[in-house]
Structure 1
Amino acid sequence: MKKVSTLWVLLSVASAAFITAVSTGGAGENVSPVYGVSLPEGYRNWRVITVAHEAGQNNDIRAILGNDIAYEAFRNRMLPFPDGSVIVRLAYEFKSSPENDAVFPAPQSFVAGAPTNVQISVKDSKRYSESDGWGYGQFENGIANPSVPLVNSCYTCHQKLDRSKDFVFSHYSP
């Protein structure tokens, strides 16, 4: 119990500084509409939480990464996520690989193709209280997508999830 309490204290202190860095931006900065979320510095070096394949219209494959706060929350099954948690989804076209399939007895290999977008979820229960504590952003080629309806659709989907999962689709895959 003491280990979990100490971890929560450390996460709380770290989250205050991190939230400011990720979710605030002045005029002219590369931030998403509605929530003001920006691409966190160094996010491509964060640890992998899981991978996902979205079929249907998206037909993409995603690597889900988390900052240290989110990663530890996923790993230790701490819900709700502490403020300062940031989850990043790197999405790529889901492509068959003829080169790899040539090695196998039947077509079976799929790989990440061209990147499609980067989606960011930032937990700040005060700033994003109207969206259950989460702020969202989507970026294509490193540029914030300016579509308010698109960014609003993030919360629309996430709020359909069970509140006990803190409105997060992913789960930790060790």
Structure 2
Amino acid sequence: MLKRLSVISAVLIACASFSTGAWADSDGQDLPTVKRQLPQYTADGQLLLPKNFHQWIYVGSPLTPNALNGGKANFPEYHNVYIEPGSYAIYKKTGEFPEGTIFVKELQLTTPQQFPDGSRNEPSGRGLFPGKFNGADVTVKDSKRFAATDGWGYFNFNHFEPKAKMAKVKAKEECAYCHIASAKKDDVWTQFYRLLDDDGHLNPNYKPETQ
């Protein structure tokens, strides 16, 4: 009987230790080592669309629908943003995006509107709801390769489906200039993603237009 109790106690202690370790990892202070998935390029410098990005760390989905922007929003879709897990682990530990960081922004249209503001009724209530996928954009940090665009390369894999398998880097005036001017940290819009920026403050240098 005593032997059996000793075995049970040992199991309980082991379980408690495992639980404590799991919680220590979850606060971002003692993250485990994660194998990184680095960007891959063709011989002529095109970026290959990262594989299995839906399994990466999801950080958020900003939305600027056409109905709220005079029918002419620059980015009318949901921007479902994912960061490569190894890069995220390093960022949470150091506060810096490491070389080779990859962000995938998958574009997703809203469902057809029923009201002028773009909303519709669904069982959960009236609102905006995600519809069909509509292409993707990818951003890669490489200070040497993309020195002309402040260390980040920007790629579009179509604004429709199916997504392209590879893409050429965009010129500075197409993407980088806006990130450089208005994104909060290291040309990344961390102000919109609480997993990347938990202080809740927007870029102090950005002054939105008044309506």
TM score, norm. by length of structure 1: 0.68
Write 1 or 2 for the structure with the bigger share of strand: 1
Of residues 41-50 and 164-173 in structure 1, the stretch that sits farther from structure 2 once superposed is: 164-173
Find 1:45's aligned residue among 52, 55, 59: 55
AA matched with 2:108: Y
Partners in 2 of 1:63 and 1:77 — Cα distance?
Answer: 24
Corresponding residue of 2:207: none
Find 1:78's aligned residue among 89, 92, 95: 95
> Cα 1:86–1:146, aligned 2, differ >3 Å: closer, same or farther?
closer
Corresponding residue of 1:30: none
Corresponding residue of 2:46: 36
AA matched with 2:42: G
Corresponding residue of 2:78: 61
Alpha-carbon distance, 1:97 to partner: 7.0
Deviation string, structure 1 residues 52-110 (Cα, Å, up to 9, x no partner): 1133312211211010133225545713x110110111111123577x82535xx6232
Q: Contact 1:96–1:109 (CA<8 Å) still a contact in 2?
A: no
Q: Contact 2:136–2:156 (CA<8 Å) still a contact in 1?
A: yes
Structure 1 unaligned runs (5+)?
A: 28-34
CA RMSD of aligned residues (A): 3.3
Query: Between Structure 1 and Structure 2, how many residues are aligned?
Result: 149
Partners in 2 of 1:130 and 1:146 — Cα distance?
Answer: 15
> Cα 1:116–1:152, aligned 2, differ >3 Å: closer, same or farther?
farther
> Cα 1:102–1:123, aligned 2, differ >3 Å: closer, same or farther?
closer
> Cα 1:173–1:73, aligned 2, differ >3 Å: closer, same or farther?
farther
Find 2:130's aligned residue among 108, 112, 123: 112
TM score, norm. by length of structure 2: 0.57
Partners in 1 of 2:86 and 2:109 — Cα distance?
Answer: 28
Helix, strand or coil: the match of 1:69? helix
Partners in 2 of 1:71 and 1:147 — Cα distance?
Answer: 23
AA matched with 1:41: K
Write 1 or 2 for the structure with the bigger share of helix: 1
Structure 2 unaligned runs (5+)?
A: 1-27, 115-119, 196-211
Corresponding residue of 2:180: 159
Identity across the alignment (%): 19
Q: Contact 1:25–1:38 (CA<8 Å) still a contact in 2?
A: yes
2:147 maps to 1:137: no
Partners in 2 of 1:95 and 1:168 — Cα distance?
Answer: 28
> Cα 1:146–1:125, aligned 2, differ >3 Å: closer, same or farther?
closer
Q: Contact 2:146–2:152 (CA<8 Å) still a contact in 1?
A: yes
Corresponding residue of 2:9: none
Partners in 1 of 2:109 and 2:180 — Cα distance?
Answer: 26
